[in-house]
Structure 1
Amino acid sequence: MRRSLIDMVKSIFYSQVNEAEPVKARVENARMTSNRLKALKPIDPTKEHKIPQAASPVDPNDPKSISKRVTTLAHMSHYRLEAYVATLPTESLEASEDSTVRV
């Protein structure tokens, strides 16, 4: 049985569509890798102007300064927060781990 011209054209395009799926997956993986590489870059102080605000001391009795600090930390992205935590002295990190409540 001979194949019609329409069937041959469909088979050509069908094979191209099926071959394009792994390409899409590779593009998505490349984008994720790019985001991971961006996360490893050091903080650029000219772009991250909110980090010095987060490092400023907070008066525990002043709710306005506490809310300002929480807002500043909330606007930072996750990887920038990790980079910020890496710059903190280890004594303050150990003190914060000791003060956590374990259930």
Structure 2
Amino acid sequence: MAFTHPSCLSSVCPSLGTLRKQSSGSVERTHQSRDPEGCTYQSSDPEGYIYQSSDPEGCTYQSSDPEECTYQSSDPEGCKYQSSDPEGCTYQSSDPEGCTYQSSDPEGYTYP
């Protein structure tokens, strides 16, 4: 989950990846957490995870994945990601700074 726009993801909620293994097997769990930075997560997963987060900087994430990652995020800086890929990450991004990414690659990332 390494992205080129860290202000939207890693710098705000660096612990997002920790939700990856909330449960195992057929055991389903629902998890909500709030940390001092204001991030709120809602997670429910039989194998992967589904979570929503909201933090003071305005980033919101919605994720659902059976194996890797599928998520959408938006924040006041204009970054929007949509990711869906059974093996890697595919996402679309646009922000007011003019950055637009569209990636689709089961083994990595490509940028047109």
Give TM class, smaller chain.
Answer: under 0.3
- Name the structure, 1 or 2, with higher relative contact order (CA <8 Å, separation 6+): 1
Larger Rg: 1
Greater share of strand: 2
Using the size of structure 1 for normalisation, the TM-score is: 0.28
